[in-house]
Amino acid sequence: MTRTLVLIRHAEAESWAPSDVERALTPAGTEMAGALGRWLRGRGVVPDTALVSGALRTRQTWAALSAEAGWQLAPTHDDGLYTAGPDTALDLVRYADPDAATLLVLGHNPTVHFLAQVLSDGTGDPALTESLTIGFPPASVAVLEFDVEWARVSEGYGRLTAVRPGC
């Protein structure tokens, strides 16, 4: 079974809050998240499992994008994803439900950007790979496909099939 991993950086957030984890989306960020949901719906992306950082901005991004995508899925909020580095985030991917065909991970930079870069096997469209080199601004998404089970996902195993740079 081909598995699809959707890596998303949260949409634009306010620059200040009592704590970083409490930073909310800006009005423009809410619009970005909605546009991202419409883009994912247009590509036929429907996650079986969604792992969302516990930070306010990621939870709000999920709410806006899932509403626009038409998903009814309840995500798993993971406070550890907020501070996760690439190795920890990759471990979370590896521990995903083995029956899930499409896994969505909604988190923070630099982790999600780094994962998109290192998981790609380099055989996809060169323009997509190049687009990852210019950054991963808020509301960016990378979609990769794997021919291995989640537990075996590793660096260089995924084919980059889509990238949508955020704003």
CA-nearest of 30, 37, 82, 38 to 60 is: 30
Domain with 117, as residue range(s), is 3-164
Tokens, residue 50? 């969604």
Q: What is the CATH number of the domain that holds 71?
A: 3.40.50.1240
Pairing of strands 141-146, 102-107: unpaired
Give the H or E element holding residue 94: helix 86-94
> pLDDT of 10-35, one tens digit each?
999 999 999 999 999 999 999 999 99
CA distances for 91 relative to 67, 87, 115, 148, angstroms: 28, 6, 11, 15
Q: Could you read off the pLDDT of 115-163 as tens digits, one per residue?
A: 999 999 988 888 998 888 889 999 999 999 999 999 999 999 999 999 9
Q: Please state the domain count of the chain.
A: 1
